[in-house]
Every structure is written in C-alpha cells, then in structure tokens.
Amino acid sequence: MNIRYYTETDTLYIEFRDVAVAETRDLDENTLLDLDDDGNICAITVEHASTRAGIPRFSYEQVVA
C-alpha cells in the first residue's frame, strides 16, 4: 500500500495495489474510487484532504490477530 499527500492540490491518494485501473467511479464530488478489471479496489483519491480526512495528521498501526 502507498499513501501520497499532494500539498499543492490538497489531495490524498491511497493506492492499495499497483495494478492497471479499469474504471474510476465518483463516490461523491471529491472522492474517486479506482477499480481493476475484476471490480477490486485499487485506489481511493480524496480531494480537500486536509479538511475531509484529517491530513496531514496520520498514523498507522498494524494489528496482529
């Protein structure tokens, strides 16, 4: 997984898998969902991320079951 934050455009890009994108769907006017040929999620783009997603505050925790 790769997470990129573009300060110039206040855009958050979360890439789950590095595969070819077959389709991009608008979830709302500021959120895009990228899907592969099988309909699996590849990535999510969030516009206005500093107000909508709490960026640049970010933490990551891996939980082992």
Whether residue 40 is contained in a domain is answered as: yes
Residue 27 lies in a domain: yes
Q: Looking at the domain assignment, is residue 59 inside a domain? A: no
* Segment 16-59, tens digit of pLDDT: 999 999 999 999 999 999 999 999 999 999 999 989 887 777 77
3-state helix, strand, coil in the chain (%, to 5): 5, 45, 50
Whether residue 61 has pLDDT greater than 90: no
Domains in the chain, number:
1
Domain that holds residue 23: 2-52
Residues 6+ apart with CB under 8 A from 46: 11, 12, 13, 14, 30, 31, 52, 53
State the pTM of this model: 0.85
| Residue 60 within a domain | no
Alpha helices (H) along the chain:
49-52
Instruction: Give the span between the Cα atoms of 44 and 37, in whole angstroms.
Output: 16
